Amino acid sequence: MSVIVRFKNSAGFQSFSEGRSWAWDKSVLTIYDRRGKKLGYFDEPENIASVSTGTDSSVIATDTKPLFINFILDETGSMFSVLDATINGFNEYIQGLKCRPSKEVEGLRFTLTQFNSNKVQVVQNSVRLSNVTKLTRQNYRPNYATPLYDAIGQTIQAMERDSGRSNVLCVIQTDGEENSSRE
């Protein structure tokens, strides 16, 4: 199950996946890891349009502006233990999007950002859904430490620079073990 947060007048959506729990009391949305440690929170309820649960691939923009998906993929050493599950999960997510009605994904653009303590790298930038490269053991090689917060921050800053993208879905696939952010 995922938690999907839609923001008013901003970068779009935030998604939190398996292993995370959340609490929403109409004033603060708090995200916890599987051990109950608080990962973060959103405390400006006037900017939150909705909080829902469901699969990430069920979230498609409904207005006329195209949807830009920025997928942030943890490529750190701790992900090696779930290598095949990560590859399969990513590929299933893309396949789920491709199975949507063509009018929903017609203008969709996809960006893949992979990160570890050695890099935060845009691997695919604003490509059509039909051109998204499958994840394999050859192009996904977990290594190094986990600057999760740095990767999220840098990705959000890059999305904000491109002001023409009013519908943005940011999906994060990680085991959630932050251990080396500097910013």
CA angle 3/4/10 to nearest 5° reads: 145
pLDDT for the residue numbered 179:
82
What is the Cα–Cα distance from 36 to 26, expressed in whole angstroms? 20
Is the pLDDT confidence value at 100 over 90? no
pLDDT tens digits, one per residue of 153-168:
888 888 777 646 557 7
pLDDT digits (tens, 9 = 90+) for 5-51: 555 544 444 555 544 544 444 455 565 555 566 666 555 555 555 55
Alpha helices by DSSP H, listed for the chain, are 83-98, 102-105, 148-161
Domains of the chain: 2-173 (3.40.50)
Q: What is the pLDDT of residue 90?
A: 92
Binned at pLDDT 50, 70 and 90, residue 84 comes out as very high
